[in-house]
Amino acid sequence: MLTQNGYAHLQVLLATFFIAGSFIVSAQLAPAAPAASLTLLRFVLATALLLPWILINAERRKKLLPALPRGLVISLFYSLFFICLFEALHTTSALNTGTLFTLVPVLTSLLGIWLLRTPIKRPQALSYLLGMLGALWIIFEGSPTRVLALQLNEGDKIFLLGVLSMCAYSLSMKLLYRGDSVGVLTCATLLGGIFWMGLAVWLTDTPLHWQALGQNDLLAMAYLVACATLGSVYLYQSGSIRLGPQRVMAYTYLNPAAVTLLPWLLIGEPIAAVLWPGIIISCLATWQLQRTSAATVPKKPSVPGTPSRRTHL
């Protein structure tokens, strides 16, 4: 029988594979429509799937309205991440975005020192370095020359903002959680995403171009809606509430490994021998981070300058 923590780890691991697949799928969708339009469609469809489940139950309906202000804050960072991803993929590659995404765990921990009062211990710092080494090994196939040749282009700079947004997204979930049903908070986050994306589309007069999406684009969008949006939001929020943002973001180091493993698991595509050391290093770093971060997760996070007692929005 799995413990609650063990179940939370499985949730975040599944979400990690969902997100890994989204990098591949998003690269296909990026040229099809503007970034804000694609993100808006993603949130609209995901909300259409989840909202009936919320509205059919009186208790969930009652909790949705109070959760909306917090959902607006959380969704702002979540929306910014996907806009940056789609926009960045116009001028950079999935390889570069995957590389930059490995900055999320260490930046989340650095921000957590201030916001959650969770210091980084030496074993954690070493694990972060090990995780980045494993991720870079997979991405650049163990070639130092390819690492040194990496240059930041305009798309990479845009995605760096997305990386910071993902850090803020994880931290805000922990800070703004008030004992809500995860499904209710997920729905509030998606509704908030529709608000922000609708506002962005309206203010910038961005054309939707949804009618231009082909069959393959629609299949890709279906994956993003069901798995990488609805599924990952629910799984990450559930995992963050139980484990804390540092332990959840530690799974980010598995992202390049997951991207490599997915074709092998789904279609039997062989994995090059040179990639296995990076996959093993990434797994070891993630496991070590789970151990070292477990002792530093605060039970009642507080914002600097405020009492430890929680305040409600």
Average per-residue pLDDT in the chain?
Answer: 82
Of the candidates 227, 244, 104, 78, the residue with the CA atom closest to the CA atom of residue 163: 104
| pLDDT exceeds 70 at position 313 | no
Q: How confident is the model at residue 294 (pLDDT cuts 50, 70, 90)?
A: low
| pLDDT exceeds 90 at position 246 | no
DSSP readout, 150-173? Answer: ----HHHHHHHHHHHHHHHHHHHH
What is the per-residue pLDDT for 241?
79
What is the per-residue pLDDT for 304?
37
Question: What integer is the mean pLDDT of 168-190?
Answer: 85
What is the per-residue pLDDT for 52?
94
Residues with Cβ < 8 Å from 140, sequence gap 6 or more? 146, 147, 150
Gap between the Cα atoms of 233 and 170, Å rounded? 10
User: What does each C-alpha distance from 83 to 54, 266, 276 come to in angstroms?
Assistant: 27, 28, 32
Question: What integer is the mean pLDDT of 25-36?
Answer: 87
Question: What integer is the mean pLDDT of 229-257?
Answer: 80
| pLDDT exceeds 90 at position 223 | yes
> 59-79, pLDDT tens digit by residue?
999 999 999 999 999 999 989
> 108-119, pLDDT tens digit by residue?
777 877 676 666
